[in-house]
Structure 1
């Protein structure tokens, strides 16, 4: 005998399938009868319906079902209404829509569960005709229950562990890239604008932030005071450059400009300085956020490259699902499709090219180290995605492995195996906790000895 469990927004429902053995042989006929209520009523019969007590109770059951866990309410409902067997020879079979939930019910309650065959078609018919099969339930009340439970479920998922949301990382790294573009554009505008008055300063100070601060301080090059000279030394922090700037002010070929023009240039330089300082604070925010969301990936490849990988993949979960071959060329899709179209050489790296490991490798080993680094990035992202407690231990160990791989390409020294490194990474927190306990005991014993000596 087949019973079908149907989870609805209003509660749990159990239906018995009539003449299961005959129906199982006629699956095409079942698929056609699903759309017709009169024919579908001849197949299924309502056994029991258990409504949820409240919206919070419905949300609690929904969270358990989505994770494949048997909720106590579901357990009581199934044990009450589904017999273990019918007679001596016939066993009772429970049809469930989700394979994870079916495995959990079979393991915990001992029922023989089924989620293939005609069960999906029966559940499709129940989903279509459910308000007409339950007394007192209408389409309007069903829609309200489904809408309310859907909003509550989505809201709970969004609020789940707000400290480890990767959406903020995606927005932050995009903002950093935009700030870099704007700061470079504005700095070039300052150099060109102030260059009419003091063109020699461009070659002396190549750094944009320092150049903007010096422009804001100097103003008119012909009106240098001792206070400005002292401030110049605090900004540049190089006596040679300060002397070069002072010498250039005396022999400059720049034109004279009015006070109003200088005021506009100084105001613009102040805006660029504030923008650069905000960019620095945004980088610190990204670093702290990466330590919370993806600490191992950040420790392995750096917070900026790691954040760009997460942003390009769409989320940390998507990045964790990618194979190492995809992570290796992530960001070089245009070059890949161009190479496939022209039958040329495919790219060896994408966003991970900005890592220091690629730059330190030799020309012939860049492809090898990028492949190894992509492999380690995949491991680090999966650990970050599925671990409950954030830690940098695995990322540091994976970084050491890439360093050993670089040495292997240069000197031929064999690196450690991945299994041994992971075992060391797992045992490291245990050793650290033992050392902390030993230090605490040692500190307590020394303090007790001091007390006894004082007495």
Structure 2
């Protein structure tokens, strides 16, 4: 007869621990003994014995292991721990491992290297309860305070990891928004009926003339006391109703109304209530726009396929976009009609053909005999769209638009018999469009990162607004250096034989623009340069090199005619930037005298 060895695995916030159950024969006989000794440590020590304890290496390692356990996955650290400490199954010895979670137990049993039988029922939960209660006493060096700290730290880390998300793709806001929208619809309907009943005592004919709820509240606020209504109010009512004939009909009806008179205090309360109903209606419009934008960010393909309202209801009913993406198409088809489904299964009747997707426009457009087919096809496309939205890193609505076209083509096929395109052809076109869009997106991201890098490299006194316009941002000397580098390039493009000094005249006004307006008024162009032109010899090849040096040294000549204050400032700049230019200047003067 085979003997059984029972070991119990306990996952704590500080690490994995393995306990051996003493004198184990039958699990059923052990249960009353365990229940009686759970709260007594001395009795519980006679039942279990610590075999091994493996603490986690770090907080990150602990979080990784706990995430795997919560999902029912056998982590590598846990596999190594079990393999090293739990004896394998032999001919006459059956090794059983007790675990708390059935998913984790099945994952351990399916591992080919361990060859263990796992259990999670019977006395195992009671033994684990006792281990949890006395854990700080069973492990050496563990105190109740250190145990609480480890549990609190890992609990916070686990919660943060679960809540961590991209702020632009949050489906929780969609769930709350659609729930609030449904609540607002109920409240606006209830309040509108109340204001109609209340104001109909005074002006009962208005109910038939203005059937729309929000318009009725606005008209009530304009009309107030019907006897005081006159021709001046017609324009205001026309703005609300968009129909002058209806406004005139209200004016005529107010003169011959059968309603009773109303006191000013009652009228004031009705007016305040009408204002509140108008505010709720306006807020509902704002909430619809917010929901459209949010659905466009979170689930663009699902929105393009069935609309933001139905898509938001599907996400809300599933609990999240990830849960909706995990559902098969058959579940999405009857999502929202669970009561009708179970009632049909119980009574063996016909199961429902559609749930929330019935509110989509496609099922309303389909013929009665094709509604079931279209709902099944639409649920299939919704499943594809939700998976693309959930797991794609580059959200866009291209696939949703093509899926919508497929559903429309299928409706046409059921009505006329025209064969639609194959799914593989449409998906190839969609993939090509997504690839092109992704390339454009990467280019924009590259430009954005360059701008951010430039802004980070700027000095503190730099003008950041200039960077957004594409201009250079640096102030002072760096700008002058950049422009000085640009000017020689322009000179190389234009090289006339005898007009090198004309280029000097073209470059000087550009440098004047950088200076202040006061300096521009004082500077006058030199009349000396054209005179030199006439006295030139025909041997231009030798003089070209000299004239190129003159271009660099022109600005110091003109600086002499400026005021003393400007000269002193510019001499300091010359000492920093080009200290060699004064020497070249002297050489040129001697050469000009020799030529004369």
Bin of the TM-score, shorter chain as denominator length: 0.7 to 0.9
CA-CA distance at 1:178 after TM superposition: 1.5
Q: Which residue of 2 aligns with 1:10?
A: 14
From 252, 262, 265, the counterpart of 1:260 = 265
Secondary structure at 1:222 match in 2: helix
Q: Which residue of 2 aligns with 1:429?
A: 434
Distance in structure 2 (CA, Å) of the matches to 1:28 and 1:397:
65
Q: Check whether the contact 2:234–2:244 (CA below 8 A) recurs between aligned residues.
A: no
Q: Which residue of 2 aligns with 1:319?
A: 324
CA-CA distance at 1:208 after TM superposition: 0.5
Task: Please list every run of 5 or more consecutive structure 1 residues that lacks an aligned counterpart in the other structure.
Answer: 18-26, 83-94, 107-111, 440-446, 448-454
Q: Which residue of 1 aligns with 2:161?
A: 156
Distance in structure 2 (CA, Å) of the matches to 1:394 and 1:415:
17
> Residues 45 and 413 of structure 1: is their aligned pair in 2 closer, same or farther, counting only changes over 3 Å?
same
Q: Trace 1:128-277 onto structure 2 (pairs within 5 A).
A: 135-138=140-143, 141-277=146-282
> Residues 261 and 396 of structure 1: is their aligned pair in 2 closer, same or farther, counting only changes over 3 Å?
same
Distance in structure 2 (CA, Å) of the matches to 1:295 and 1:116:
47
Distance in structure 1 (CA, Å) of the matches to 2:15 and 2:250:
79
Q: Check whether the contact 1:70–1:101 (CA below 8 A) recurs between aligned residues.
A: no
**Is 1:296 matched up with 2:307?**
no
Q: Which residue of 2 aligns with 1:85?
A: none
Which is worse superposed, 231-240 or 249-258?
249-258
Distance in structure 1 (CA, Å) of the matches to 2:224 and 2:312:
39
Q: Give CA deviations for 1:350-372 in whole Å, capped at 9, x if unaligned.
A: 21111111111111111111111
Q: Give CA deviations for 1:111-146 in whole Å, capped at 9, x if unaligned.
A: x8548546999x999998676775423465335413
Secondary structure at 2:173 match in 1: helix
Q: Give CA deviations for 1:93-115 in whole Å, capped at 9, x if unaligned.
A: xx9x969999xxx9xxxxx8548
Q: Check whether the contact 2:234–2:248 (CA below 8 A) recurs between aligned residues.
A: no
Q: Trace 1:9-88 onto structure 2 (pairs within 5 A).
A: 9-11=13-15, 46=52, 49=54, 51-53=56-58, 55=59, 58-59=62-63, 62=66
Number of residue equivalences: 412
CA-CA distance at 1:215 after TM superposition: 0.8
From 308, 315, 323, the counterpart of 2:313 = 308
Distance in structure 2 (CA, Å) of the matches to 1:343 and 1:51:
54
Q: Give CA deviations for 1:367-419 in whole Å, capped at 9, x if unaligned.
A: 11111111112222222333334332222222111111111111112223333
Q: Which residue of 2 aligns with 1:23?
A: none
From 395, 415, 420, the counterpart of 1:415 = 420
Q: When the two structures are superposed, what TM-score results if normalisation uses the length of structure 1?
A: 0.72
Which is worse superposed, 320-329 or 123-132?
123-132
Question: RMSD of aligned C-alpha atoms?
Answer: 4.6
Q: Which residue of 2 aligns with 1:450?
A: none
From 334, 338, 344, the counterpart of 1:333 = 338
Q: When the two structures are superposed, what TM-score results if normalisation uses the length of structure 2?
A: 0.57
**Is 1:368 matched up with 2:373?**
yes
> Residues 400 and 230 of structure 1: is their aligned pair in 2 closer, same or farther, counting only changes over 3 Å?
same
Q: Check whether the contact 1:6–1:14 (CA below 8 A) recurs between aligned residues.
A: yes
> Residues 186 and 126 of structure 1: is their aligned pair in 2 closer, same or farther, counting only changes over 3 Å?
closer
CA-CA distance at 1:225 after TM superposition: 4.1
Distance in structure 2 (CA, Å) of the matches to 1:119 and 1:192:
66
CA-CA distance at 1:297 after TM superposition: 1.8
CA-CA distance at 1:269 after TM superposition: 0.6
Distance in structure 1 (CA, Å) of the matches to 2:74 and 2:340:
45
Secondary structure at 2:349 match in 1: coil
CA-CA distance at 1:223 after TM superposition: 1.7
Task: Please list every run of 5 or more consecutive structure 2 residues that lacks an aligned counterpart in the other structure.
Answer: 1-7, 35-43, 85-96, 445-469, 471-492, 494-596
Higher RCO (Cα < 8 Å, 6 or more apart): 1
Q: Check whether the contact 1:30–1:118 (CA below 8 A) recurs between aligned residues.
A: no
> Residues 187 and 133 of structure 1: is their aligned pair in 2 closer, same or farther, counting only changes over 3 Å?
closer
Q: Which residue of 2 aligns with 1:348?
A: 353
Distance in structure 2 (CA, Å) of the matches to 1:321 and 1:116:
31
CA-CA distance at 1:294 after TM superposition: 2.4
Distance in structure 1 (CA, Å) of the matches to 2:411 and 2:173:
33
> Residues 406 and 115 of structure 1: is their aligned pair in 2 closer, same or farther, counting only changes over 3 Å?
farther
Distance in structure 1 (CA, Å) of the matches to 2:57 and 2:128:
18
> Residues 373 and 242 of structure 1: is their aligned pair in 2 closer, same or farther, counting only changes over 3 Å?
same
Q: Give CA deviations for 1:411-434 in whole Å, capped at 9, x if unaligned.
A: 112223333333333322212345
Structure of higher CA gyration radius? 2
Q: Which residue of 2 aligns with 1:20?
A: none
